[in-house]
Structure 1
Amino acid sequence: MSETLSPELQSWIGRSRVVEEEVGLSAVRRIAGMLDLDPGAFRNGDLLPPHWFTLFFADVARQSEIGPDGHPKPGVFLPPIPLPRRMGAGRRVTIHDSLRVGEVASKTAEVAAILPKQARTGFITVLTMRHTIRALGRRGRQVIAVDEFDAIYREAVKPGEKSGTGAPVPAPTDAAWRVEKHLSAPLVFRYSAVTWNAHRIHYDADYSRQEEGYPNTVQNGGLTMQLLLDAAVAHTPGTLRGFSARLTRPIYVGDTITLCGHAPRDGRMMAWVQDKDGHLCAQLDCEFA
């Protein structure tokens, strides 16, 4: 494949669409239950944790628009990148405010960049989406957050090839705090339901092994970041105002991971996820005010 962007894909750069959603109390309570919080503690008008905006604004495709991997087909919401496997890789987020329970808000999704290139593991394309979250109604069109999200598209798995088997990197050993979390199948299912994510690698073990080369069903990277952000916020004074995140190694449903972090310093803190073997799986750099 060529590292030159096709005219069709080039035409997608700069395209945008808007998704509106009511931040409903019932949805917030389902999210709270999934995260092992008291659902009854939330009321209309309450401010949500700053990073919870990522749990809303799902792209709702018609069933006929779903591809064999469970994602919407290429060209429905995202550019028709001609590579079959898609995984989240990282994000850069600036947070200005928090959503409130019961208000109407919107996400403007813009195709910021499409970068095809030859990587060590084969030909890939990196898609960067820029999501701008706004509160509507009585707050006008206040910007809540700007989220740049990277997804990597890869070639199909060759017969006998395995995914996620690159050389591991050891996690840091100087954590100031640690929290163990078991990634049970019901937890991953509930997160996928909350975020309307039907990617089959998260629940269909046969598909995950046979079509994408993983040894098991794969933990959802969004859930990994959610759990790590929750732990980072709980261990840091102040209000979360931004973060950058990077996923470095697959984690599998049924694993027990350790959420770790350094002590905050000058309003910044680094946190990470390590697997049961002490390998680095995700890293997070947070800014607090």
Structure 2
Amino acid sequence: MNAVDDTPLPEDISAWIGRSERTEDEIGLTNARRMAAMLDLDPADFRTGSPLPPLWYSLFFTPNARQSQIGHDGHPRKGDFLPPIGLPRRMFVGRSVSFLRPLRIGEAASKTSTIAAITPKHGRSGALVFLTVRHTIETMAGPAVVEDQQVVYREAAGSAGAARMQEAGTAAPAADWTEQRAIDPVLLFRYSALTWNGHRIHYDADYARAEEGYPGCVMNGALTVLLLAEAGRRRAARPLAGLTARLSSPLFSGEVMTLAGHTAADGRMACQATGPTGIPAAAVTLSFAP
């Protein structure tokens, strides 16, 4: 197992704020069709020149770390672009996204990522450090997507393990629609493969239990957000202009989650995913173009 610094933050951590990196990619047809297949859509409906559905940008600009640069947890090692935060567990907890114009399959694009904020906190599970990274995706036509992504670094799992956070989330309003989705290992594998996500909690049950204190493989939070957003925009039948998402409690392979949504008077749609216990796992607000 990799050694971890005893201190959550080095003294010069402020020097990491504002650090940027730029990644180039092509909005490839193969990945778009594979995402369509994973979502049970017809892959043949997607062709070169087709607009890419809004949240599918996560298929591209993946961190292509060499095998020697991968840490024990399956993530790229910290200390290059990401700051050397001395806490071993890393989880995606939220994002805020503006969709400025569609990306199109086949076009070249770039993503500029900038460390926007590093915020230490202390919770019931111990030390926490929240990291916010701003991603701007653009093509020759200009910016297309701007995302503020937040991840949290946590201490190693204690004797209580990574239990569900009973206090997390808020009560959902009366739903206009609901649907249920099974969380199965093939879905988790396909999404991790599509997004080049090596984090072992999503496919290695022994690691998830022994090293991070979970009862089994963990549902990818970004996949929960994707499924909520896809369900919501199907029903809205209007272009998606923005999204905010917050994750509050983990879901696990083998469970069935309930997706639900309610459209407010201002036209925004509040969506929520809950697990079998009824505890909210994710909250997503969708805003749509007029």
TM-score range, shorter chain: over 0.9
Identity of paired residues, percent? 47
> d(CA) in 2 for partners of 1:264 and 1:52?
25
* 2:34 match: 30
* 1:277 match: 277
Query: SS at the partner of 1:234?
Result: helix
Residue 83 and residue 211 in structure 1: after superposition, are their counterparts in 2 closer, same or farther (change >3 A)?
same
How much has 1:83 moved relative to structure 2? 0.5
How much has 1:181 moved relative to structure 2? 0.8
> d(CA) in 2 for partners of 1:258 and 1:77?
36
How much has 1:188 moved relative to structure 2? 0.7
Provide structure 2 residue ranges, at least 5 long, that are not aligned to the other structure: 1-5
Give, as a single letter, the amino acid of the residue that structure 2 aligns with 1:116.
P
TM-score of the superposed pair, with normalisation by structure 2 = 0.93
Give, as a single letter, the amino acid of the residue that structure 1 aligns with 2:227.
L
Give, as a single letter, the amino acid of the residue that structure 2 aligns with 1:271.
C
The reply on whether 1:65 has 2:72 as its aligned counterpart is no
* 1:197 match: 197
* 2:187 match: 187
How much has 1:63 moved relative to structure 2? 0.2
* 2:3 match: none
* 1:256 match: 256
> d(CA) in 2 for partners of 1:175 and 1:85?
34
Query: SS at the partner of 2:287?
Result: strand
* 1:162 match: 161
> d(CA) in 2 for partners of 1:264 and 1:34?
30
Give, as a single letter, the amino acid of the residue that structure 2 aligns with 1:108.
T
How much has 1:170 moved relative to structure 2? 6.5
How much has 1:221 moved relative to structure 2? 0.5
> d(CA) in 1 for partners of 2:171 and 2:34?
33
> d(CA) in 2 for partners of 1:21 and 1:170?
38
Query: SS at the partner of 1:28?
Result: helix
- Residue 88 of structure 2, aligned match among 73, 84, 88: 84
Give, as a single letter, the amino acid of the residue that structure 1 aligns with 2:218.
V
Query: SS at the partner of 1:19?
Result: strand
Check whether the contact 2:173–2:262 (CA below 8 A) recurs between aligned residues.
no
> d(CA) in 1 for partners of 2:51 and 2:35?
14
Mapping for residues 110-129 of structure 1, pairs under 5 Å = 110-129=114-133
Give, as a single letter, the amino acid of the residue that structure 1 aligns with 2:160.
E
How much has 1:286 moved relative to structure 2? 1.3
Give, as a single letter, the amino acid of the residue that structure 2 aligns with 1:143.
P
* 1:146 match: 146
- Deviation per CA, 1:62-100: give whole Å up to 9, x if none: 000000000001113311111000001111111101110
Query: SS at the partner of 1:90?
Result: strand
> d(CA) in 2 for partners of 1:245 and 1:166?
17
- Deviation per CA, 1:238-260: give whole Å up to 9, x if none: 21111110001000012111110
The reply on whether 1:94 has 2:98 as its aligned counterpart is yes
Give, as a single letter, the amino acid of the residue that structure 1 aligns with 2:194.
V
**RMSD after superposition:** 1.6
* 1:238 match: 238
Give, as a single letter, the amino acid of the residue that structure 1 aligns with 2:13.
L
TM-score of the superposed pair, with normalisation by structure 1 = 0.93
The reply on whether 1:12 has 2:13 as its aligned counterpart is no
Provide structure 1 residue ranges, at least 5 long, that are not aligned to the other structure: none
Between Structure 1 and Structure 2, how many residues are aligned?
283
> d(CA) in 1 for partners of 2:257 and 2:70?
31
Query: SS at the partner of 1:10?
Result: helix
Check whether the contact 1:244–1:286 (CA below 8 A) recurs between aligned residues.
yes
Give, as a single letter, the amino acid of the residue that structure 2 aligns with 1:229.
A
How much has 1:133 moved relative to structure 2? 0.8
Check whether the contact 1:59–1:77 (CA below 8 A) recurs between aligned residues.
no
